[in-house]
Chains A and B, each alone.
Chain A
Amino acid sequence: MAFEYEKYIRKGTLPHIWCPGCGHGIVMKSLLRAIDGLKLDKNDIAVVSGIGCASRLPGYLDMNTLHTTHGRALAFATGIRLSNPKLKVIVVSGDGDAAAIGGNHFIHAARRNIEITLLVFNNSIYGMTGGQVAPTTPLGAIATTMPYGNIDPPFDIVKLAEGAGATFVARTTSYHTAQTEQLIKQAIMHKGFSVIDIIDACPVQFGRRNKPKEAPDMMQIQKDNSMPIQLAQKKTPEEIAGKIITGVFVKKDLPSYMDTYYTTIIPKAQAK
Chain B
Amino acid sequence: MEKKALLISGNEACVEGALYAGIQFYAGYPITPSSEIPEGLARKLPKYGGVMIQMEDEIAAMAATIGASLTGKKAMTATSGPGFSLKQENLGFASFNEVPCVIVNVMRGGPSTGAPTGPSQGDVMQARWGTHGDHPIVALAPNSIPEIFTETVRGFNITEKFRIPVILLLDEIIAHMRERIIFPEKGELEVVDRLKPTVPPDQYKPFDVTNSPLPLVPPMAAYGSGYRFHVTGLNHRTDGFPTNNGDLIEKEMHRIMDKVDLYKKDIFKTETYMLDDAEVAIVAYGSSSRAAKYAVNALREQGIKAGMLRYITIWPFDEAAIEKLAQKVKFIVVPELNFGQLILEVERAAKGKTRVYGVNRVNIEIIHPHEIIEKVKELFHGI
Contact = CB atoms under 8 A, between A and B. Distances in A.
Given A46-B224, A69-B63, A261-B51, A80 B71 contact: yes
A176 interface: no
B47 A72 contact: no
A84 B53 CA distance: 14
A66 B231 contact: yes
B25 interface: yes
Contact of B230 (A65, A81, A82): A65
Contacts of A84: 71-72, 222-224
A43 B66 contact: no
B27 interface: yes
Interface string B238-267: 000110000000000000000000000000
A79 B46 contact: no
A105 B93 contact: no
Given A64-B224, A68-B93, A76 B46 contact: no
A18 B90 CA distance: 26
B241 A83 contact: no
B228 interface: yes
A261 B224 CA distance: 20
Interface stretch (A55-63, A143-151, A201-209): A55-63
Interface residues of A, number: 41
B374 to A, nearest CB: 48
A173 B164 CA distance: 43
A87 B234 contact: no
B226 A69 contact: no
Given A67-B231, A79-B67, A83-B73, A105 B224 contact: no
Contacts of B24: 83
A79 B223 CA distance: 12
B113 to A, nearest CB: 20
A44 interface: yes
- Mostly, the B contact residues are mixed
B70 interface: yes
A271 B115 CA distance: 39
A75 interface: yes
B231 to A, nearest CB: 5
A265 interface: yes
A80 B241 contact: no
Interface string B19-46: 0000011010000000000000001111
Contacts of B224: 43-44, 46, 64, 84, 86-87
Interface in A29-65: 42-44, 46, 48, 58-59, 62-65
A78 B233 contact: no
A265 B50 CA distance: 10
Main secondary structure on chain A at its contact with chain B?
A: helix
A72 B59 contact: yes
B184 to A, nearest CB: 24
A270 interface: yes
B93 A69 contact: yes
Given A43-B228, A64-B223, A69-B89, A79 B27 contact: yes
A233 interface: no
Contact of B55 (A10, A65, A75): A75
A186 interface: no
B46 A270 contact: yes
A268 B27 CA distance: 20
Contacts of B234: 67
A269 B46 contact: yes
A108 interface: yes
Interface in B324-363: none
Given A80-B68, A104-B56, A270-B46, A59 B228 contact: no
Given A59-B232, A68-B63, A104 B223 contact: no
A1 interface: no
B44 to A, nearest CB: 8
A83 B242 contact: no
A13 interface: yes
Interface-central residue, A68, A83, A261, by most chain B CB under 10 Å: A83
A28 interface: no
B273 interface: no
B64 interface: yes
Nearest to B57: A104
B228 A62 contact: yes
Contacts of A10: 230
Contact of B63 (A67, A75, A265): A75
Interface in B202-250: 222-226, 228-234, 241-242
Contacts of B89: 69
A184 interface: no
A90 interface: no
Given A46-B224, A67-B232, A108 B47 contact: no
B307 to A, nearest CB: 45
Interface in B295-345: none
A243 B224 CA distance: 41
Interface string A236-272: 0000000000000000000000000100011011101
Nearest to A58: B230
A261 B24 CA distance: 14
Interface in A98-116: 104-105, 108
B43 A76 contact: no
With most chain A CB atoms within 10 A of its CB, the pick from B69, B90, B230 is B230
A48 B71 CA distance: 13
B75 A79 contact: yes
A-B residue pairs, 3 tightest by C-beta: A79-B67, A79-B64, A269-B46
Given A58-B230, A68-B93, A69-B89, 16 more contacts: A13-B241, A59-B230, A65-B231, A67-B230, A79-B65, A79-B70, A79-B71, A79-B75, A80-B67, A80-B71, A83-B24, A83-B73, A84-B224, A104-B56, A266-B46, A269-B47
Interface of B: 24-25, 27, 43-47, 49, 51, 53, 55-57, 59-61, 63-73, 75, 89-90, 93, 222-226, 228-234, 241-242
